[in-house]
Amino acid sequence: MIPGAAFAGALVCLVALASPPGAAAARPGQTGQIAFASEAGGIFVMRADGTHVRRLRHDGHFYWNPDFSPNGDEIAVARGRGSHDAFTMKSDGSRLRRVTHNADARNDDPSFSSNGKRIAFDRGRGVANVFTIRVDGTHQHQVTSFDPSEHHFTGAFNPSFSPAGGEIAFTGFRRGRYAIFTIRANGARQRQIIQDPYGYEVDATVDFSPNGKRIAFVRRQGGHWQIFAMRSDGTHVRQLTHQPASSFSPTFSPHGGKIAFSRQGDIFVMRANGTHVHRVTHGERDEEVPTWGVGP
């Protein structure tokens, strides 16, 4: 009979030999959690496999565009219809706090910085620009300076902080065309990294991969909106989805190996190379705008 310690060691060796080359052991929190909004205005959180769905708040307000803090403890959201303000809450829906206070403009698309201390958002009525603000609502700073005289619909939308925190990616509309830009968080070195050749064929959603090397975005292709990814300098653009249905709101998993997105009122997950697409929700709430955070 094999002694217990020796048997355990032998079992570990057998498991290691049976594992495929390069396989990594599962890590706690690797799959993480996904938050999303419903068309009815609720914010929900679930495990990345679509189980344990729970609604965070039942206060009658309309919530939209959630974004997890880097440690997964908090979620930033836009609240309101028409004129939004940015709020934060704990990932269980408690401790709701207002961050912006501007009833005359739309404050939307909040995105946490890499250290969780600041939030980027877009603000505007007619023309939008990207701002940053501390999570306590102080030290607001305007990052972009899109001029409304250039074009009636000029603006900057849907900012996404880079993992290093020094840059922000966003979608801009200028001179009749959408493009994706990056800019330093202090407003310096704005540069266009990709432009839509047709004018209205790039959606507002952008998301950095966890290592900061790639950006996921949405572009119209063949009559439908599809998920694409590119290097953060705008090169090596690759189409990831190819279904005859529109896909929106790509968000990288915390380890970068997968992307969640919405399609026809459901949340889907795929590998970051576009393979192994599977649905994780089933149309009960008209789920939209997912965000993927680390596990609780």
141 bridge partner residues: 132
Tell me the pTM: 0.86
pLDDT, one tens digit for every residue, the chain (296 residues): 434 444 344 333 433 333 333 333 333 444 899 999 987 779 999 999 999 999 999 898 999 999 999 999 999 999 987 668 999 999 999 999 999 987 677 899 999 999 999 999 999 877 889 999 999 999 999 999 887 665 555 789 899 999 988 999 999 887 777 889 999 999 999 999 987 655 456 666 899 999 999 999 998 888 899 999 999 999 999 999 999 999 999 999 999 999 999 999 999 999 999 999 999 998 777 899 999 999 76
pLDDT for res 60: 87
Dump the DSSP string for 63-132.
Answer: EEEEEE-TTSSEEEEEESSSS-EEEEEETTS-S-EE----TTSEEEEEEE-TTSSEEEEEEEESEEEEEE
pLDDT for res 19: 36
- What are the structural domains of the chain? 32-293 (2.120.10.30)
Q: Is 86 left (phi over 0), alpha (psi -120 to 50) or beta?
A: beta
Tokens standing for residue 238? 């690759």
Could you report the per-residue pLDDT of 224-266, keeping only the tens digit for each? 999 999 999 999 999 999 999 999 999 999 999 999 999 999 9
Phi, psi of 242 (to 5 degrees): -140, 20
8 Å CB contact between 78 and 108: yes
User: What is the DSSP code (8-state) at residue 5?
Assistant: H
Nearest to 225 by CA among 181, 178, 191: 178
Distance, CA of 45 to CA of 52 (rounded, Å): 8
